[in-house]
Amino acid sequence: MDQFTINLIFVAGSFLLYIGIAIWARAGSTSEFYAAGRGVHPVVNGAATAADWMSAASFISMAGLIAFVGYGNSTYLMGWTGGFVLLALLLAPYLRKFGRYTVPDFIGDRFYSRGARLVAVAALLIISITYVIGQMTGAGVAFSRFLEVDATTGLMIASAVVFVYAVLGGMKGITYTQLAQYCVLIIAYTIPAVFISLQLTGNPLPQLGLFSTHEASGLPLLARLDQVLLELGFNDYTGHHGSTLNMVLFTLSLMIGTAGLPHVIIRFFTVPKVADARRSAGWALVFIALLYTVAPAVGSMARLNIITTIYPDGVEAAPIAYDERPDWMRTWEQTGLLRFEDVNGDGRIQYYNAANEGFAEEAAARGWTGNEMVEFNQDILVLANPEIAQLPAWVVGLIAAGGLAAALSTAAGLLLAISSAISHDLIKSTLKPDISERGELMAARVSMAVAIVIATYLGLNPPGFAAQVVALAFGLAASSLFPAIMMGIFSTRMNSTGAIVGMLVGLGATVLYIFTYLGWLFIPGTNMLENTPDNWLFGIAPPSFGAVGAVLNFVAAYITMKLTRPVPEHVRGLVESIRVPRGAGVATGHH
């Protein structure tokens, strides 16, 4: 059986599974469409949350970003996992206790303002649409290789599948579909990593293999990787070469952006009790850790494998002849995501850092006149890993299904957040309060369908790599929704005017800064936190500005609060009731 047929079996089988689950768990009411009837078990919700959270950026892009930069891109790991801890401890239980369906629903009621609700809806739409571009990009990359179709056709197929199970099932269908997708993606990610770790280090656990001895050289794996990179003029893999300020701000932006992501927050509205929100957050962290602790090993081992492939006799010897390149290179070249150019006409593939002036003399002595791997899209790394390591054909098919599961699971969650904001917060709560439940359910499904069409269109011409586009969404969430939710839960004094001004200032400043310096998105193969044009404000990279936007949000909200009317007394009581556990007054003697 050829590779294409195997890929088709894995992908088609997983798609049929998702659609079958959606038919079985289709939503029959608005409660089931928005919150799965609030009847999801914490363990199931934890796995679904993990799938919702671990998008194409986590599955496809993150290891590629780490592989080509090293320690400098560990910010993704630290920011995303740290943010989930913030979400679990500070936000999820309180939002579940408030008992609403959506983030704008909470903000509108807490800040007793239709204006606050509309600003939250606008922020949610900007965040979610930006985020979903990365998912559609990831689906296109996976399809273009494994089903041997162009990216446009791949996007259409992915959109059609999401349309069926998201529009039909709503949150109820999406929850159980995401449970299946988590199982697919974690198996697909882990099995190749185990094989590759065994090949390179003899250790079956990639997490331990990363710190084990590289069997071919007898050196620690990371030391061997540092050695070959330095010999080719690249920065050492384990060193920090960027701006410390940007690294801190970017990590913080990812953390608080995570805690403000609407499509992740709404997952905690699906459990029966407040305690279940905490439990499902704990389970989600366990499920997420299974992939996130493997990603650094996948990136490191893949980078070493690529160099070993090009220099089979060591970097001091001649590189491989172009005509002798392995099959995985030939197949990925057909997608346009990998490309070579024989600059010096010797028929071989020179791969080194041509931008390093200190390496120019060594390159000239070897007859090299430029790096000949002129295109290596970082998003292909995880998908190509099984082929690079010459693993069995079924593992390649499994990776295909896993990459698509990661992209589609998050895309469905984002589309549901968009749909809920339009049908519930815009139509039901603002434009047409007397709409029937049946009418609201229809509006939810129609808005979901429209969102899928828009997401598909934007996915056809996305800026940057999937993970870099997703980083924008985190900055926007950090600067707009996170401060409003935090102040809504932990401040009885924050009023509606302060919240509205804060969100507008934070979101506006971040959007303006990002799109003023958008050029970083189009610099392939580089660490965006190392590119520091002189005109950046204090040298702050656009993806790092979300943390600054959050500070501006808090400051603007506080100043406005001081200058405007205080919070009504009944709202103060509402805020206190969210934070104080039931029965606490009796237990402490205070009533």
pLDDT digits (tens, 9 = 90+) for 244-260: 898 999 999 999 998 88
pLDDT digits (tens, 9 = 90+) for 52-80: 888 777 887 888 889 988 998 889 888 98
pLDDT digits (tens, 9 = 90+) for 368-412: 988 999 888 887 888 888 888 788 888 888 888 887 787 778 888
Position 546 pLDDT exceeds 70: yes
Q: Is the dihedral of CA 68, 69, 71, 76 positive or negative?
A: negative
CB 491 within 8 A of CB 545: no
d(CA 65, CA 525): 8
Which positions ≥6 away from 278 have C-beta within 8 Å?
A: 88, 92, 93
pLDDT digits (tens, 9 = 90+) for 161-176: 888 777 777 888 888 8
CB 443 within 8 A of CB 427: yes
Burial class of residue 149 in the structure, from the number of CB atoms within 10 Å of its CB (0-12 exposed, 13-18 middle, 19+ buried): middle
Residue with tokens 């409660």: 31
Instruction: Work out the pLDDT band at 99, boundaries 50, 70, 90.
Output: confident
pLDDT at 560: 98
Residue with the bigger pLDDT between 294 and 534: it is 294
- The pTM for the full model equals 0.84
CB 27 within 8 A of CB 415: no
Q: Using N-to-C axis directions, what is the helix angle for 274-292 and 42-53, rounded to 10°? A: 50
pLDDT at 586: 38
pLDDT at 383: 81
Instruction: State mean pLDDT over 226-243.
Output: 91
pLDDT at 525: 41
The helix (H) or strand (E) run that includes residue 21 is helix 3-24
pLDDT digits (tens, 9 = 90+) for 471-498: 678 888 999 999 999 999 999 999 999 9
CB 406 within 8 A of CB 58: yes
Position 590 pLDDT exceeds 50: no
Average pLDDT, the chain: 85
Instruction: Work out the pLDDT band at 532, boundaries 50, 70, 90.
Output: low
d(CA 185, CA 287): 11
Position 328 pLDDT exceeds 60: yes
pLDDT at 591: 42
pLDDT at 518: 62
CB 130 within 8 A of CB 414: no
Residue with the bigger pLDDT between 201 and 584: it is 201
Kindly state the tokens that stand for 239: 């060193």
pLDDT at 468: 58
- Look at residue 189 and give its three-state secondary structure: helix
Secondary structure of 541-572 in HEC code, one letter for each residue: CHHHHHHHHHHHHHHHHHHHHHHCCCCCHHHH
Position 588 pLDDT exceeds 70: no
Residue with the bigger pLDDT between 590 and 324: it is 324
The helix (H) or strand (E) run that includes residue 376 is strand 373-376
CB 389 within 8 A of CB 305: yes
CB 567 within 8 A of CB 493: yes
d(CA 136, CA 410): 10
Position 415 pLDDT exceeds 60: yes
The helix (H) or strand (E) run that includes residue 470 is helix 466-479
pLDDT at 24: 84
d(CA 542, CA 520): 8
Phi-psi region of 237 (alpha: psi -120 to 50; beta: other; left: phi over 0): alpha
pLDDT at 530: 52
**Distance of CA 286 to CAs 85, 289, 292, 411, Å?**
11, 5, 10, 22
d(CA 245, CA 257): 18
**Shortest CA distance to 403 belongs to which of 448, 473, 466?**
466
**Shortest CA distance to 101 belongs to which of 429, 431, 412, 434?**
429
What domains can you pick out in the chain, each with its CATH number?
A: 3-301+387-580 (1.20.1730.10), 302-386 (no CATH)
pLDDT at 454: 85
pLDDT at 217: 93
**Shortest CA distance to 58 belongs to which of 42, 87, 79, 72?**
79
Instruction: Work out the pLDDT band at 3, boundaries 50, 70, 90.
Output: confident
